[in-house]
């Protein structure tokens, strides 16, 4: 059964809006670990540089969160999901499906991946629910100072 939603996604460079969203407690707690900036002080450009895109999620006129997208290796784009709890599970799934359509329509996007911090159980559950698979948990990355 398909449920209609009023969810849309769009690329945005309104980083003031995105910074306000990432500093909200509902998003900050799942998006920033102990080694990141303090809540209220997150500035994505200062923290991550400019090598990312932001995709705004709307439910009608309301802002429901955003996706942060970074290029990883040729053809692979990494998604970081930052959705507000005001969205229902069905709406969050609709947002991710709309994001997939938007990103796969871009030249050079062949694969989408997502990094979910170990502390974000809700994020990991959501990733599996919408069809992501885990290659490794945690991801096989080198970490500065072994942290």
* Cα–Cα dist 82/87, whole Å: 11
pTM: 0.78
Rounded to whole angstroms, the Cα distance separating 82 from 26 reads 9
Q: For residue range 107-144, list pLDDT tens digits in order.
A: 988 888 887 766 677 777 777 777 777 654 444 444 44
69, 77 in Cβ contact below 8 A? yes
């Amino acid at each position: 059964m398909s449920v209609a939603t009023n969810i849309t996604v769009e690329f945005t460079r309104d980083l003031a809006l995105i910074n306000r969203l990432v500093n909200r407690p509902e998003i900050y707690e799942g998006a920033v670990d102990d080694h990141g900036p303090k809540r209220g002080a997150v500035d994505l450009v200062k923290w991550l540089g400019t090598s990312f895109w932001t995709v705004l999620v709307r439910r009608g006129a309301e802002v429901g969160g955003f996706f942060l997208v970074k290029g990883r290796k040729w053809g692979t784009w990494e998604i970081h999901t930052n959705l507000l709890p005001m969205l229902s599970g069905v709406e969050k799934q609709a947002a991710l499906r709309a994001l997939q359509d938007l990103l796969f329509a871009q030249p050079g996007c062949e694969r989408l991946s997502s990094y979910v911090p170990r502390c974000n159980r809700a994020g990991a559950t959501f990733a599996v629910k919408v069809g992501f698979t885990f290659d490794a948990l945690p991801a096989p990355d080198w970490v500065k100072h072994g942290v």
